[in-house]
Amino acid sequence: MTIEDFADFLGENVPRGKIVELGIGFQFNVALKLKELGYDVLAVDWNPQAVEKAEELGISAVRDDLFSPNLELYRSAKALYSVRPTPEIVKPILELSKRLSVPVYILPLSGDSMPKTMRLVNFRGLAIYVYSPAGK
Protein backbone atom coordinates (compact mmCIF):
# COMPACT_ATOMS: atom_id res chain seq x y z
CA MET A 1 0.00 0.00 0.00
CA THR A 2 1.67 3.18 -1.24
CA ILE A 3 0.35 6.58 -2.18
CA GLU A 4 1.09 5.69 -5.83
CA ASP A 5 -1.60 3.00 -5.50
CA PHE A 6 -4.07 5.90 -5.51
CA ALA A 7 -2.85 6.75 -9.03
CA ASP A 8 -3.40 3.11 -10.06
CA PHE A 9 -6.95 3.30 -8.66
CA LEU A 10 -7.62 6.47 -10.66
CA GLY A 11 -6.12 4.80 -13.74
CA GLU A 12 -8.64 1.98 -13.41
CA ASN A 13 -11.63 4.27 -12.81
CA VAL A 14 -11.12 7.48 -14.79
CA PRO A 15 -10.95 7.65 -18.62
CA ARG A 16 -7.70 9.06 -20.01
CA GLY A 17 -7.75 12.80 -20.57
CA LYS A 18 -7.57 15.78 -18.26
CA ILE A 19 -7.53 15.07 -14.53
CA VAL A 20 -7.09 17.75 -11.86
CA GLU A 21 -5.34 17.42 -8.51
CA LEU A 22 -6.78 19.89 -6.02
CA GLY A 23 -4.45 21.18 -3.32
CA ILE A 24 -1.31 19.44 -4.55
CA GLY A 25 0.92 21.05 -1.95
CA PHE A 26 4.38 19.48 -2.12
CA GLN A 27 3.30 15.86 -2.67
CA PHE A 28 3.83 15.18 -6.36
CA ASN A 29 3.98 11.36 -6.52
CA VAL A 30 0.36 10.78 -7.59
CA ALA A 31 0.45 13.47 -10.30
CA LEU A 32 3.75 12.16 -11.67
CA LYS A 33 2.44 8.57 -11.76
CA LEU A 34 -0.74 9.72 -13.52
CA LYS A 35 1.39 11.47 -16.15
CA GLU A 36 3.22 8.14 -16.67
CA LEU A 37 -0.18 6.48 -17.11
CA GLY A 38 -1.01 8.90 -19.93
CA TYR A 39 -3.16 11.51 -18.19
CA ASP A 40 -3.11 15.24 -18.85
CA VAL A 41 -2.60 16.29 -15.22
CA LEU A 42 -3.34 19.79 -13.96
CA ALA A 43 -2.23 20.56 -10.40
CA VAL A 44 -4.00 23.32 -8.50
CA ASP A 45 -2.92 25.00 -5.28
CA TRP A 46 -3.24 28.42 -3.66
CA ASN A 47 0.47 28.39 -2.71
CA PRO A 48 2.64 29.90 -5.47
CA GLN A 49 5.70 27.91 -4.30
CA ALA A 50 3.79 24.62 -4.67
CA VAL A 51 2.69 25.63 -8.17
CA GLU A 52 6.26 26.61 -9.09
CA LYS A 53 7.70 23.32 -7.78
CA ALA A 54 5.09 21.29 -9.69
CA GLU A 55 6.00 23.15 -12.88
CA GLU A 56 9.70 22.44 -12.25
CA LEU A 57 8.84 18.72 -12.12
CA GLY A 58 6.99 18.92 -15.44
CA ILE A 59 3.46 19.00 -14.04
CA SER A 60 1.12 21.65 -15.45
CA ALA A 61 0.09 23.73 -12.46
CA VAL A 62 -1.94 26.84 -11.70
CA ARG A 63 -2.80 28.90 -8.66
CA ASP A 64 -6.48 28.98 -7.76
CA ASP A 65 -8.69 29.51 -4.73
CA LEU A 66 -11.07 26.58 -4.23
CA PHE A 67 -13.40 28.83 -2.22
CA SER A 68 -13.87 30.97 -5.34
CA PRO A 69 -12.61 28.81 -8.24
CA ASN A 70 -11.97 29.95 -11.78
CA LEU A 71 -14.21 27.39 -13.51
CA GLU A 72 -12.44 27.80 -16.85
CA LEU A 73 -9.37 26.07 -15.41
CA TYR A 74 -11.37 22.87 -14.88
CA ARG A 75 -13.26 22.69 -18.16
CA SER A 76 -12.97 19.32 -19.93
CA ALA A 77 -11.68 17.55 -16.81
CA LYS A 78 -12.71 13.89 -16.61
CA ALA A 79 -12.32 13.91 -12.81
CA LEU A 80 -10.98 15.77 -9.80
CA TYR A 81 -8.92 14.27 -7.01
CA SER A 82 -7.19 15.30 -3.83
CA VAL A 83 -4.54 13.68 -1.66
CA ARG A 84 -4.88 14.34 2.05
CA PRO A 85 -6.81 17.61 1.71
CA THR A 86 -7.19 19.79 4.75
CA PRO A 87 -10.70 19.38 6.20
CA GLU A 88 -11.76 22.94 5.34
CA ILE A 89 -11.32 22.42 1.57
CA VAL A 90 -13.35 19.20 1.33
CA LYS A 91 -16.68 21.04 1.04
CA PRO A 92 -15.42 23.40 -1.73
CA ILE A 93 -14.00 20.36 -3.56
CA LEU A 94 -17.41 18.66 -3.52
CA GLU A 95 -19.11 21.88 -4.62
CA LEU A 96 -16.69 22.18 -7.54
CA SER A 97 -17.42 18.57 -8.49
CA LYS A 98 -21.16 19.35 -8.54
CA ARG A 99 -20.70 22.53 -10.58
CA LEU A 100 -18.59 20.70 -13.17
CA SER A 101 -20.62 17.46 -13.08
CA VAL A 102 -17.48 15.36 -12.74
CA PRO A 103 -16.57 12.78 -10.09
CA VAL A 104 -14.11 13.50 -7.30
CA TYR A 105 -11.81 11.07 -5.52
CA ILE A 106 -10.27 11.84 -2.14
CA LEU A 107 -7.50 10.01 -0.32
CA PRO A 108 -7.81 11.48 3.19
CA LEU A 109 -5.41 11.44 6.08
CA SER A 110 -6.32 8.52 8.30
CA GLY A 111 -8.66 9.78 10.97
CA ASP A 112 -10.15 12.57 8.83
CA SER A 113 -13.89 12.12 8.43
CA MET A 114 -15.46 12.56 5.03
CA PRO A 115 -19.01 13.72 4.20
CA LYS A 116 -21.72 11.05 4.22
CA THR A 117 -22.43 11.83 0.56
CA MET A 118 -19.14 10.13 -0.35
CA ARG A 119 -18.78 6.38 -0.92
CA LEU A 120 -15.86 4.56 0.72
CA VAL A 121 -13.79 2.23 -1.48
CA ASN A 122 -10.94 0.06 -0.22
CA PHE A 123 -8.19 -0.30 -2.83
CA ARG A 124 -5.03 -2.17 -1.86
CA GLY A 125 -5.59 -1.10 1.73
CA LEU A 126 -6.18 2.57 0.88
CA ALA A 127 -9.41 4.20 2.06
CA ILE A 128 -10.55 6.20 -0.96
CA TYR A 129 -13.69 8.30 -0.91
CA VAL A 130 -15.67 8.80 -4.10
CA TYR A 131 -18.31 11.37 -4.92
CA SER A 132 -20.22 11.25 -8.18
CA PRO A 133 -22.64 14.08 -8.97
CA ALA A 134 -26.16 12.99 -9.90
CA GLY A 135 -26.36 11.43 -13.30
CA LYS A 136 -22.67 10.47 -13.49
Contact 50, 24 (CB under 8 A): yes
Indicate the DSSP class of residue 68: S
pLDDT digits (tens, 9 = 90+) for 72-101: 999 999 999 999 999 999 999 999 999 999
What homologous superfamily does CATH list for 4-131? Vaccinia Virus protein VP39 (3.40.50.150)
Mean pLDDT value of segment 109-116: 84
pLDDT digits (tens, 9 = 90+) for 11-51: 999 999 999 999 999 999 999 999 999 999 999 999 999 99
Assign 112 to helix, strand or coil. coil
Whole-model pTM? 0.94
Give the side-chain half-sphere CA count within 13 A for 103.
Answer: 16
